[in-house]
């Protein structure tokens, strides 16, 4: 039974393993509710002004989430079917992320303090100038279906916005409304501990509420994780406002994987099995799922494909996040499978019962896929779920022709042989071909599993993201800040971050020299 | 005679002092020409890949411009009537800016190298990750009317794009096509010196060509300096593309100036005269011209206003950049002057002949301007030219009510008394009220004269700019870059910027510690 609800505007938690409604969580937010929620968030700005309060708050949010771990994981599993192991790991990651942003706040480099002392000899003369970054204001966060913790109410967008000093209003994903409410309650308990108004985290349900949110005059920026269609509609709304706002959306990605001939010859079974593991992880519901694999034609490639098929045979059917996604997956793979030149050695599609799907893969000649006649264009669109497309190339030129046709991606991967990895054999310009395609380039690894680290970049050319920023890693906070410079300002009037004596001990650049 | 041209699509250089056509510079670019120009720029990308070449190129551009100084200044003066002193200074600034970006390229911090070594204990585990920033691709630059050098063909947008490794196609401003062509020739000579194809700098004329440019699939980002109307149209076109691109536009700004009661009492004549100088500099044709001044009612404010009027009386009539601007100015001030409650102690408007304008100012009660009935909304829009609006406030609450009504600005200024500057008297939260309004906040100074310095920020809340970036100062290069992270990549395959041994000696952050 689909989640149609029993009254208009009712928001239900639904069990994707059965399709049954679990509980009514609330109702869809009216325009009045959205307005009140945004205003409450706006009023909470001052409470986040003190960086020490912000970092303590972020750490307490992590503590509160860990305290509620059992309840949160149970609710998320009941709503998403992602399983306890995965969800416990995701919650651990989410708490690590919150504490990591707390460290970022304490360390202070993200404020980007730059001081230029006066220089009367320059043309034009340089006055005393002191620049740092300040919070933009209320941030709207559109949470993801596939990460009920890490990219949801207390996920990376929210944590980075709090780190930047911005209150947040989250548009909950309809696939996990109970988890969203429980998480919001934990965040608000943490807020109360530090004397921060509960409005610092707003939570609204409903599609229309999401549109209302991005148009609200007091919303200063937005973060989004989801589909190309939904994300682009909100991006367009953000750009069309009387005062446009930054919209940091993560939309869709094929995440191409290029297996060189030498790599396929060296370890076909290992690569085939690794691919099966990566593409079926989380029932193929990762934004970085490898959705297109360039494998050589010929015997080595055949062995790789065979190993892939064998490994997939051992992966059981899985439950997707909701029934609509399951229907889209089943229809999407069927439509792709009947394209000319496409074969399905292991046919993906409906599972043994009405709630599951079975993983599989399609094959197509790379030359067909690279043709500009548009016949295979659908294969170059992301298909959410446990399927990948293996494009077989006859020679490196065919592979390169196909790479040149791809849209932007979050990741691009190459599997190379041992000698190729040494750079002594094959083409050392290998990475130069993948770099234009993606925000993260991997060698002999799989794109699933996005580490939280300072050097991470989770973003890429459109449609992977709608901006040049990242939504994972400590640099994600820069999305919610803007610089301001103070000119000729007496020390007593300056914010402490910019005073000459550096009372807060911040790292800064003074007259071109880095301090601290 | 207005610059109507003698044949369709002809591009004429016009003398604003007479309205006469000086010479035909070329023709408006057809879509085919725009396409060819963008493709030539795109093909020049590789030539900018080497940072040493980029910095040398930037320095040679400065050298070439200085070599042509006499010819460039003469052409610019003939086309813009800005005068030799100002234009010589602007050219010096432009060359300083080019060399400053060369230093930025050599120093390397802008690459933002961050390295995270593997950490198997993290959740999820952290692999080897190495991140830096790479050029976006071809940048479209829309040059400004009012800075034929500093915000034009070889101005800040172009210099920062070259610094980032991006080729540029400039849409020339119709007010100085000859200067634009001469500058482009100098840039291309510099390119030839370093073996860079001439296509690294494209130059196109014509309104339609500008629209074509922002829609071109190979254009990856755009920089714009101009009006709200023109900038917003191009911003909208950039956002509506199948693949949206970053559009860094600097549109319009009122640049409010708040004179406290104590400051007006302390030095009314100094502030009045300083205001007259700042608002008439360059015939009021600066994006940071103070266009709205909050001065107290009462005797001290009266003295300030009187001093302003006296100083303006000593400023002669001036020639604006073109006749259309002159007409807009004359019509704009006339429309504003007849609004209710508005007076014109020194009436701005047409000058003594058909080519000039005379400076002046309007006054209005702050309480009227702050009313939400919209009757005075026009006074809160920028009026390009030598006019400012003085809003008289009865008490600080009236001033604050008006400040709260203002749109975003490039600058916001406050003039305070000596004791207020010490922070011991008056309100130390003074700057907190101005900071939300602008990207640069000044105390006891005037916003005209935008220094080129690392701590500069030239941008602000919309409509001041369409992004959170700056178009002046060394951080301007970040607009044309995007991060990319390499995961698990053998050292031999990495770009040298990211290799473990740091062969280029770049400043970088490794596992959270800053090196170099």
Cα(B507)–Cα(A89) distance, integer angstroms:
35
**DSSP string for residues in A159-226:** HHHHHHT--EEEE--TT-HHHHHHHHHHHHHHHHHTT--GGGEEEE-SHHHHHHHHH-TTEEEEEEES
Interface mutation target, options A46, A218, A455, A511, chain B, most CBs of B under 10 Å: A455
Contact indicator for B383, B333 with CB cutoff of 8 Å: yes
Closest CA to A388 of A447, A455, A473: A447
Chain B partners within 8 Å of A451 (Cβ): 116, 122, 124-127, 129
- Minimum distance, in Å, between the CA of residue A8 and any CA atom of chain B: 34
Chain B partners within 8 Å of A89 (Cβ): 123-124
DSSP 3-state of A454: coil
- Report the residue of chain A nearest B421, measured CA to CA: A490
Q: Does B418 touch chain A (CB under 8 A)?
A: no
Taking an 8 Å cut-off on Cβ atoms, the answer to whether A129 and B481 are in contact is: no
Scanning A109-168 for CB atoms below 8 A from B yields 114-116, 119, 122-127, 129-131, 134, 136
Q: Which CATH architecture has domain A27-110+135-251+468-479?
A: 3-Layer(aba) Sandwich (3.40)
- Minimum distance, in Å, between the CA of residue B9 and any CA atom of chain A: 32
DSSP A315: S
Q: Strand ranges (DSSP E) for B2-160?
A: 10-15, 20-27, 113-116, 129-135, 138-142
- Write the CB contacts of B479 (distance below 8 Å, at least 6 apart in sequence): B160, B164, B221, B223, B246, B248, B467, B469, B471
Question: Which residues is B513 bridged to in the sheet?
Answer: B510
Q: Does B247 touch chain A (CB under 8 A)?
A: no
Cα(B443)–Cα(A481) distance, integer angstroms:
23
What angle do the packed helices A84-107 and A51-67 form, to 10 degrees?
A: 170
pLDDT tens-digit series, residues B454-466:
999 999 999 999 9
Q: Does A440 touch chain B (CB under 8 A)?
A: yes
φ/ψ region of B502 (left if φ > 0, alpha if ψ in -120 to 50, else beta) reads left
- Minimum distance, in Å, between the CA of residue B352 and any CA atom of chain A: 32
Cα(A329)–Cα(A350) distance, integer angstroms:
9
DSSP 3-state of A417: coil
| B503 burial level (CB within 10 Å; 0-12, 13-18, 19+) | exposed
From A64, A287, A383, A420, active-site residue: A287
Name the more confident of B256 and B427: B256
* Residue B5 confidence (pLDDT) above 70: no
Q: Does A255 touch chain B (CB under 8 A)?
A: no
Taking an 8 Å cut-off on Cβ atoms, the answer to whether A455 and B116 are in contact is: yes
Question: Which residues is A129 bridged to in the sheet?
Answer: A116, A487
Mean pLDDT of B275-285: 97
**Which of A114, A445, A459 faces B454 most closely, judged by CB atoms?**
A114
Interface mutation target, options B69, B445, B485, B514, chain A, most CBs of A under 10 Å: B485
Number of Cβ atoms within 10 Å of the Cβ of A23: 12
Taking an 8 Å cut-off on Cβ atoms, the answer to whether B452 and A114 are in contact is: no
* Residue B508 confidence (pLDDT) above 70: yes
CA distance between the termini of chain B: 60
CA dihedral B110, B247, A252, A455 (to 10 degrees): 10
Q: Does A1 touch chain B (CB under 8 A)?
A: no
Taking an 8 Å cut-off on Cβ atoms, the answer to whether B236 and A235 are in contact is: no
Residue with tokens 């395959």: B493
How would you write B81-125 as a 3-class SS string? CCCHHHHHHHHHHHHHHHHHHHHHHHHCHHHCEEEECCECCCCCC
Contact indicator for B512, A104 with CB cutoff of 8 Å: no
The DSSP H or E segment spanning A232 is helix A228-240
pLDDT tens-digit series, residues B202-236:
999 999 999 999 999 999 999 999 999 999 999 99
ipTM: 0.96
Taking an 8 Å cut-off on Cβ atoms, the answer to whether B123 and A89 are in contact is: yes
- Mark the ranges of chain A whose per-residue pLDDT is less than 50: 1-5
Q: Does A92 touch chain B (CB under 8 A)?
A: yes
Taking an 8 Å cut-off on Cβ atoms, the answer to whether A431 and B493 are in contact is: yes
Question: Which residues is B203 bridged to in the sheet?
Answer: B170
How far lies B461's CA from each of A48, A169, B411, in Å?
A: 21, 21, 10
Cα(B510)–Cα(B315) distance, integer angstroms:
58
Taking an 8 Å cut-off on Cβ atoms, the answer to whether B430 and A493 are in contact is: yes
Residue B385 confidence class, pLDDT cut points 50, 70, 90: very high
Cα(A223)–Cα(A229) distance, integer angstroms:
15
Question: What pLDDT shows up at residue A143?
Answer: 97
Cα(B268)–Cα(B274) distance, integer angstroms:
10
Question: What pLDDT shows up at residue A513?
Answer: 92
Question: What pLDDT shows up at residue A5?
Answer: 47
Q: What is the Cα A164 distance to its own chain's centre?
A: 18
* Residue B3 confidence (pLDDT) above 60: no
**DSSP string for residues in B483-502:** EEEEES--GGGS-GGG-TT-
Q: What is the CATH number of domain B28-108+135-251+469-479?
A: 3.40.605.10
Closest CA to B327 of B400, B287, B384: B384
pLDDT tens-digit series, residues B387-396:
999 999 999 9
Contact indicator for A448, A291 with CB cutoff of 8 Å: no
Residue with tokens 């007479």: B18
Mean pLDDT of B161-168: 98
Q: Does B494 touch chain A (CB under 8 A)?
A: yes
How would you write A325-348 as a 3-class SS string? HHHHHHHHHHHHHCCCCCEEEECC
Number of Cβ atoms within 10 Å of the Cβ of A84: 12
- Write the CB contacts of A464 (distance below 8 Å, at least 6 apart in sequence): A250, A251, A252, A253, A408, A409, A410, A438, A439
**Which of A449, A450, A462 faces B243 most closely, judged by CB atoms?**
A462
Contact indicator for B503, A281 with CB cutoff of 8 Å: no
Question: What pLDDT shows up at residue A2?
Answer: 42
Taking an 8 Å cut-off on Cβ atoms, the answer to whether B452 and A115 are in contact is: no
Contact indicator for A283, A385 with CB cutoff of 8 Å: yes
Cα(B356)–Cα(B319) distance, integer angstroms:
5
Chain A partners within 8 Å of B98 (Cβ): none
Share of chain B above pLDDT 90, in %: 93
- Minimum distance, in Å, between the CA of residue B243 and any CA atom of chain A: 6
pLDDT tens-digit series, residues B316-329:
999 999 999 999 99
Residue B426 confidence class, pLDDT cut points 50, 70, 90: low
Residue with tokens 């990856």: B220
Cα(B127)–Cα(B242) distance, integer angstroms:
34
Question: What pLDDT shows up at residue B372?
Answer: 85
Residue B338 confidence class, pLDDT cut points 50, 70, 90: very high
Question: What pLDDT shows up at residue A384?
Answer: 96
Q: Does B483 touch chain A (CB under 8 A)?
A: yes
Question: What pLDDT shows up at residue A8?
Answer: 79
Q: Does B490 touch chain A (CB under 8 A)?
A: yes
Question: Torsions phi, psi of A129, nearest 5?
Answer: -130, 135
Question: What pLDDT shows up at residue B428?
Answer: 59
DSSP 3-state of A362: strand
- Hey, what CATH class is A256-443 in? alpha beta
DSSP 3-state of A6: coil
pLDDT tens-digit series, residues B459-505:
999 999 999 999 998 899 999 999 999 999 999 999 999 999 999 99
Question: What pLDDT shows up at residue B2?
Answer: 42
**Which of B89, B124, B484 faces A449 most closely, judged by CB atoms?**
B124
Taking an 8 Å cut-off on Cβ atoms, the answer to whether A487 and B239 are in contact is: no
Q: What is the Cα A52 distance to its own chain's centre?
A: 27
Residue with tokens 């629209």: B211
Q: Does A423 touch chain B (CB under 8 A)?
A: yes
**Which of B114, B449, B484 faces A454 most closely, judged by CB atoms?**
B114
pTM of the model: 0.96
Question: What pLDDT shows up at residue B1?
Answer: 38
Residue B250 bears catalytic tag: yes
Cα(B362)–Cα(A492) distance, integer angstroms:
34
Cα(B369)–Cα(B342) distance, integer angstroms:
10
- The domain segmentation of chain B, as residue ranges, is 28-108+135-251+469-479, 256-443
Number of Cβ atoms within 10 Å of the Cβ of B121: 7
DSSP 3-state of B335: helix
Mean pLDDT of B98-118: 97
φ/ψ region of B284 (left if φ > 0, alpha if ψ in -120 to 50, else beta) reads left
Residue A250 bears catalytic tag: yes
* Residue B448 confidence (pLDDT) above 90: yes
Q: Does A218 touch chain B (CB under 8 A)?
A: no
**DSSP string for residues in A86-123:** HHHHHHHHHHHHHHHHHHHHHH-GGG-EEEE--BTTSS
- Write the CB contacts of A50 (distance below 8 Å, at least 6 apart in sequence): none
Cα(B174)–Cα(B11) distance, integer angstroms:
8
């Amino acid at each position: 039974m689909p989640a149609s609800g029993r009254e208009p505007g009712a928001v239900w938690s639904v069990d994707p393993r059965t399709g049954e409604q679990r509980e009514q969580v609330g109702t869809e937010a009216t325009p009045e509710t959205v307005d009140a929620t945004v205003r409450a968030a706006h009023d909470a700005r001052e409470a986040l002004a003190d960086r020490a309060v912000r970092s303590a708050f972020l750490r307490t949010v992590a503590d509160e989430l860990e305290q509620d771990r059992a309840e949160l994981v149970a609710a998320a599993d009941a709503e998403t079917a992602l399983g306890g192991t995965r969800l416990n790991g995701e919650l651990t990651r989410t708490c690590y992320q919150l504490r990591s942003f707390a460290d970022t706040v304490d360390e202070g480099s993200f404020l980007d303090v730059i001081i230029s002392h006066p220089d009367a000899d320059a043309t034009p003369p340089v006055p005393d100038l002191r620049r740092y970054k300040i919070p933009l204001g209320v941030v709207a966060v559109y949470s993801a279906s596939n990460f009920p913790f890490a990219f949801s109410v207390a996920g990376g967008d929210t944590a980075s916005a709090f780190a930047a000093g911005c209150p947040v209003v989250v548009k909950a994903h309809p696939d996990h409304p109970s988890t969203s409410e429980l998480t919001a309650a934990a965040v608000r308990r943490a807020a109360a501990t530090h004397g921060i108004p509960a409005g610092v985290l707003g939570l609204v349900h409903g599609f229309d509420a999401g549109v209302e949110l991005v148009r609200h005059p007091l919303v200063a920026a937005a973060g989004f994780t989801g589909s190309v269609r939904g994300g682009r509609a909100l991006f367009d709304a953000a750009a069309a406002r009387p005062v446009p706002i930054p919209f940091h959306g993560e939309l869709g990605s094929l995440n191409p994987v290029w297996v060189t001939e030498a790599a396929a010859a060296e370890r076909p079974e290992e690569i085939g099995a690794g691919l099966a593991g990566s593409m079926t992880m989380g029932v193929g519901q990762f934004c970085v799922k490898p959705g297109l694999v360039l494998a050589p034609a010929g015997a080595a490639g055949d062995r790789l494909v065979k190993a892939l098929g064998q490994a997939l045979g051992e992966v059981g059917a899985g439950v997707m996040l909701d029934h609509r996604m399951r229907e889209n997956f089943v229809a999407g793979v069927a439509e792709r499978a009947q394209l000319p030149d496409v074969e399905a050695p292991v046919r993906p599609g409906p599972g043994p019962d009405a709630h599951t799907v079975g993983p599989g893969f399609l094959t197509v000649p790379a030359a067909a896929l690279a043709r500009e006649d548009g016949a295979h264009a659908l294969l170059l669109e992301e298909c959410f779920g446990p399927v990948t497309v293996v494009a077989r190339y006859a020679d490196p030129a065919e592979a390169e022709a196909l790479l040149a046709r791809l849209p932007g991606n979050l990741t691009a991967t190459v599997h190379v042989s041992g000698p190729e990895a040494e750079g002594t054999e094959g083409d050392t310009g290998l990475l130069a071909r993948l770099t234009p395609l993606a925000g993260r380039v991997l060698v002999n690894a799989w794109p699933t599993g996005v580490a939280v680290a300072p050097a991470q970049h989770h973003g890429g050319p459109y449609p992977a993201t709608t901006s040049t920023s990242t939504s994972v890693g400590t640099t994600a906070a820069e999305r919610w800040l803007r610089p301001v410079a103070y000119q000729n300002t007496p020390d007593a009037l300056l914010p402490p971050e910019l005073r000459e004596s550096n009372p807060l001990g911040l790292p800064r650049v003074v007259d071109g020299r880095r301090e601290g």
